[in-house]
Amino acid sequence: MMSVTSDLNNNMKLFVYGTLRSNGVMKSVLQTEETKERTPVILQGFRKNGLNILEDQDESVEGDVVEVNEDEMKLLDNYESVSSGVYRRIKVNIGDESITAYQIV
């Protein structure tokens, strides 16, 4: 579960709130031994519902922001089954940034 925004280096900030918070899972999906640096954040206005996040103005979801490049994002999309319609990307706000998150369709 995640979210994305681009920076000037073509890297994307990714909000992860589920299985991708695990370094082992992230390394496996990205096919690397590199451990991604993480920044803990709180996503306001959403609640966790199993492996999903749903809008709920009274709730919040704990997660991490990590940076990934375009190739890594494709691997993450594949892991989240975006092309087969299991998850979709949605826009969420963390602080003053608009970031994309994964949500079950």
Tally the domains of the chain: 1
Q: What is the pTM of this model?
A: 0.82
Interhelix angle 70-79/23-30, nearest 10 degrees: 110
Q: Which domain CATH number covers 60?
A: 3.10.490.10
pLDDT digits (tens, 9 = 90+) for 58-91: 999 999 988 889 999 999 999 999 999 999 877 7
Mean pLDDT of the chain: 87
Q: What is the per-residue pLDDT for 76?
A: 94
Q: What is the per-residue pLDDT for 104?
A: 86
Domain enclosing residue 62, as ranges: 4-104
Residue 3 in contact with residue 92, Cβ under 8 Å? yes
